[in-house]
Structure 1
Amino acid sequence: MDAFETRIIAVVADELGIPEAEVTERSQFADDFGMDTFAVAGLALRVSEEFEVALSHDDIEAFDTVRDLIDAVRELAPQAS
């Protein structure tokens, strides 16, 4: 895991109020954290602000796992390159 992924995991953990160790790239928002679409959208908004990217509604609806979020942000974030 690189620094970029670690930073996103830290934001996810902070948003959920859980230890970072409980969040992995394979963690599923609904199954592992009980998040509904609105909660995932709120998390995506926070991540988009943190990384200064614009995630589309379609992107957000497709997020099932933390890896999905990481990959979407990595595509858009200049600091991820």
Structure 2
Amino acid sequence: MATVMERVQAIVADKLSVDEAEVLPEASFMEDLMADSLDLVELIMAFEEEFSDEDTTIEISDEDAEGITTVQAAIDFLAANGVSDD
């Protein structure tokens, strides 16, 4: 199974129409990957869907979403909420 990083990279590449190679941990969604506010909402929803399962529901509040500005911040948030590499 793919790692959390690989899954986040795939989601970001898909939603923002960028190459996965550009989706580095330090990449800023808005500054480096050219996401707009609607893109960020779609990313948050995609993260919630991808990382929720029958045992765990990932919910990202608006307040938390404001702090998720980079790929690494997304990974850190997910890790802090029980998501790990299987």
Question: Structure 2 CA distance, aligned partners of 1:72 and 1:46?
Answer: 14
Q: Which has the higher contact order (CA 8 A, sep 6+)?
A: 2
Q: Normalised by the size of structure 2, how large is the TM-score? A: 0.80
Does structure 1 residue 64 correspond to structure 2 residue 69?
yes
Q: Normalised by the size of structure 1, how large is the TM-score? A: 0.84
Q: Structure 1: which 5+ runs fail to align?
A: none
- RMSD of aligned alpha carbons: 1.7
Q: Comparing both structures, which one devotes a greater share of its residues to helix?
A: 1
Question: Structure 1 CA distance, aligned partners of 2:82 and 2:61?
Answer: 14
Does structure 1 residue 20 correspond to structure 2 residue 20?
yes
> After TM superposition, which residue ranges in structure 1, 4 or more long, deviate above 4 angstroms?
none
